[in-house]
Amino acid sequence: MKTIPRHVAVIMDGNGRWAQSRNLPRLAGHEQGSKSIRQCVEACMETGVEFLTLYAFSSENWKRPALEVSGLMLLLERFLNEKKEEMLREGVRLRAIGRLEDLPPPCRRKLQEVCDATKNNTRLQVILALSYSGRTEILDAVKSIARDATEGSLCAEDVTPDLIASRLYTDGIPDPDLLIRTSGEMRISNFLLWQLSYTEIHVTKKLWPDFGKADFLEALEDFNGRSRRFGGV
């Protein structure tokens, strides 16, 4: 492959449908879905992708039945417990974006622990979007700029795209080159609204729990065939 995207973002959709089609509880789909994460992480390490952002839980997902929400939080905690040593061994840095203060305290503490423990790793950065909403992220950035303007430390002319980017949760992370969405839906679903401006989009009908390394490589192939002009000719 000629060009490897530096940053791949993924909307991991279809866990519920995967479970329903097998007469299993929705959580079984999420559990199987967490295995697909491992496949993608491996594919990133093998191909040299530097950043992988995963939409694991949106702000809107809090509206799901309490049992599904608590099951997802437990799954996240288990995932963090199980993967910590492996991430340390493999040189993976874990980061998280979103309103992390909304997460149950044990989950938040574990997340902080793994992010801290892996913060010097540089081989691959895995960024979990949790209690994440693109609009809220932009709202938080605008509020912080407005506060500085009120205090007088900046004026309207100082507000540039770079300044806005620096107030987002993704400060310092390059914009995604490729967005993968599973389960065939053609939507952005409030994910990385600012950062996806020039991102190539690959949609596959495969449901997330069925998505494996070969599917990730197929998405990279698709990306290789694109001509990115960033609005130029």
190 assigned to active site: no
Compute CA 35 distance to the chain's CA centroid, rounded to the nearest angstrom: 16
Q: Is 56 in the site for ligand FPP (CB under 6 A)?
A: yes
3-state secondary structure of 8: strand
Q: Look up residue 6 and give its two tokens.
A: 């530096």
In the sheet that 200-203 helps form, which strands lie side by side, from edge to edge? Answer: 92-97, 124-132, 51-58, 7-11, 178-181, 200-203
Q: Look up residue 187 and give its two tokens.
A: 């939507």
Give the containing element (helix H, strand E) for 130. strand 124-132
The distance of closest approach from Cβ of residue 18 to ligand FPP in the complex, given in angstroms and rounded to an integer, is 7
61 assigned to active site: yes
Pick the binder of ligand FPP from 5, 33, 71, 98 (CB under 6 A): 33
Q: ∠ CA(168), CA(172), CA(44), 5° rounding?
A: 110
User: Which backbone phi and psi does 92 adopt, to 5 degrees?
Assistant: -95, 130
The smaller minimum CB distance to ligand FPP, of residues 14 and 176, is found at 14
Q: Is 16 in the site for ligand FPP (CB under 6 A)?
A: yes
The distance of closest approach from Cβ of residue 15 to ligand FPP in the complex, given in angstroms and rounded to an integer, is 4
The smaller minimum CB distance to ligand FPP, of residues 65 and 232, is found at 65
Pick the binder of ligand FPP from 8, 9, 10, 12 (CB under 6 A): 12
Residues that bind ligand FPP (CB under 6 A): 12-17, 30, 33-34, 56, 61, 72, 75-76, 79, 128, 208
Q: Among all residues, which ones are annotated catalytic? A: 13, 61
